[in-house]
Amino acid sequence: MLNQPLNRSLFDQVMVPNYAPTRIIPVRGRGSQVWDQDGREYLDFAGGIAVTGVGHCHPKLVSTLKRQGDSIWHLSNFMTNEPALRLARKLTAATFAERVFFANSGSEANEAAFKLARLYNHERYSDTKHEIIAFDQSFHGRTLFTVSVGGQPKYRQGFGPTPTGITHLPYNDITALETAVSERTCAIVMEPLQGEGGVISADPAFVVRARELCNQYHALLVMDEVQTGMGRLGSLYGYQQLGVTPDILTTAKALGNGFPIAAMLTTAEIASAMAVGTHGSTFGGNPLACSIAETVFDIINDAQVLAGVRYKHQLIREKLAAINAKYNFCSEIRGDGLLIGCALNLPYQGFAHHFMHAAQDQQLLVLIAGPDVVRMTPSLLITESEINIGLERFEAAVAQVIQS
């Protein structure tokens, strides 16, 4: 096996079979382009699942990686470090938050958020105030607590017994929410736009009502911005466009542009429940990850970059609508910023992965969001000409699927 070529079939012999990767193996990336082992070029409209927000190998990130890699990588939280302090200062200055906890993945940031919501309510009110309200199709990660709060039962099947005290309601259903919230509610957990669940935007009135109910019942509003954060929707965080302020926010994916880092943001009052020893992480907030995230933050937290995201949204939407006028493959083009979904028409429902594979044949990387939605999450810095070429390739992929 040590002599076997590094190809897709080796994957099945050495990896746990929980993924089904496509055939190609990219070896190099620059901006919105990647090249596979054969030197074939692809335009990247997948962005490593909304992670490479400033594209591959951004020169400023490469330079930060090299500089910090030459200084110090890791200390543990037995000591603090300069990059972590700088990043936390920037995150708190740019958001509602006053306190930051660093972790390594979206799941871990959410795990911290849910634990903090329970802990705060436990200390401030009572043990019975522990119920978490979450929404159908939501995705919050893969740890046992986060699959339990997530609204996709298939992700917790077989892993029971799972944590209890969690209720799932239909997303955007104000009446269901009003009926379910009570004095026992500890937190309402939502994505401002459901990414994995099918690219479904929150109805602003729904989010406003959730905030009001949280105030009324002294519950915490937790916004999972792991996918929507770091400029993806055209503002640094999605909540900033919704006119509501969360109590806890989680951010990950694009925060490190591929270097693992996540953060949970909250107020000083709520953070005070997480006293010394109540929670922690070995890697979380290490200098290497934080220095990279600080550079990512500096690039993205820029009015021009964020305006560009909103402009490119319109451009992609118009081009997808033109493709759809020709091929009638989707019933709705939806999403916000550079998180865009094509909800497939009935004959193609269940076959989103066919579009993904056809796009790859046409040298374009796209994602799916469930079996019925094709999802695009390109770099926020993608150029207009890359968008044009990418959507020409997408049109060819659509034609390929429809003719097959």
Ligand X SMILES: *Cc1c(COP(=O)(O)O)cnc(C)c1O
On the 0-12 / 13-18 / 19+ scale of CB atoms within 10 A, 59 is: exposed
Applying CB under 6 A, which of residues 252, 271, 274, 323 lies at the interface with ligand X? 252
Applying CB under 6 A, which of residues 52, 64, 148, 227 lies at the interface with ligand X? 227
Find the binding residues for ligand X in span 107-166 (CB under 6 A): 107, 110, 139-142
What are 399's two structure tokens? 């034609």
281 to 320: interface string for ligand X, x by CB under 6 A: ----------------------------------------
Residue 106 near ligand X by CB under 6 A: yes
Applying CB under 6 A, which of residues 32, 33, 68, 105 lies at the interface with ligand X? 105
Q: Which stretch binds ligand X (CB under 6 A): 88-96, 190-198, 337-345, 377-385?
A: 190-198
What are 299's two structure tokens? 């690039």
Q: Residue 179 CB, nearest distance to ligand X (Å)?
A: 25
Query: Looking at beta carbons only, is 374 or 401 nearer to ligand X?
Result: 374
Q: How far is CA 227 from CA 50, 106, 136, 191, 370, in A?
A: 6, 9, 17, 8, 15
What are 232's two structure tokens? 């993806």
- Please, what's the b/e burial string for 8-31 (b: 16 or more CB within 10 A of its CB; e: otherwise)? eeeeeeeeeeeeeeeebeeeebeb
Residue 256 near ligand X by CB under 6 A: no
Query: Looking at beta carbons only, is 219 or 367 nearer to ligand X?
Result: 367
Q: Residue 247 CB, nearest distance to ligand X (Å)?
A: 17
Query: Looking at beta carbons only, is 129 or 337 nearer to ligand X?
Result: 337
Beta bridge partners of 41: 35
Q: Are 378 and 205 spatial neighbours (Cβ–Cβ below 8 Å)?
A: no
Phi, psi of 97 (to 5 degrees): -75, 155
Nearest Cα neighbor of 324 from 340, 303, 312, 301 is: 340
Query: Looking at beta carbons only, is 108 or 294 nearer to ligand X?
Result: 108
Long-range contacts of 159-163 (CB under 8 A, 24+ apart): none
DSSP 3-state helix, strand, coil percentages of the chain (rounded to 5)?
A: 40, 20, 40
Q: Which stretch binds ligand X (CB under 6 A): 101-109, 158-166, 179-187, 388-396?
A: 101-109
Applying CB under 6 A, which of residues 55, 151, 195, 341 lies at the interface with ligand X? 195
Q: Which stretch binds ligand X (CB under 6 A): 81-89, 118-126, 222-230, 351-359?
A: 222-230
Query: Looking at beta carbons only, is 142 or 184 nearer to ligand X?
Result: 142
Residue given tokens 């200098």 in the structure block:
287
The contact set with ligand X (CB under 6 A) reads 105-107, 110, 139-142, 191, 195-196, 224, 226-227, 252-253
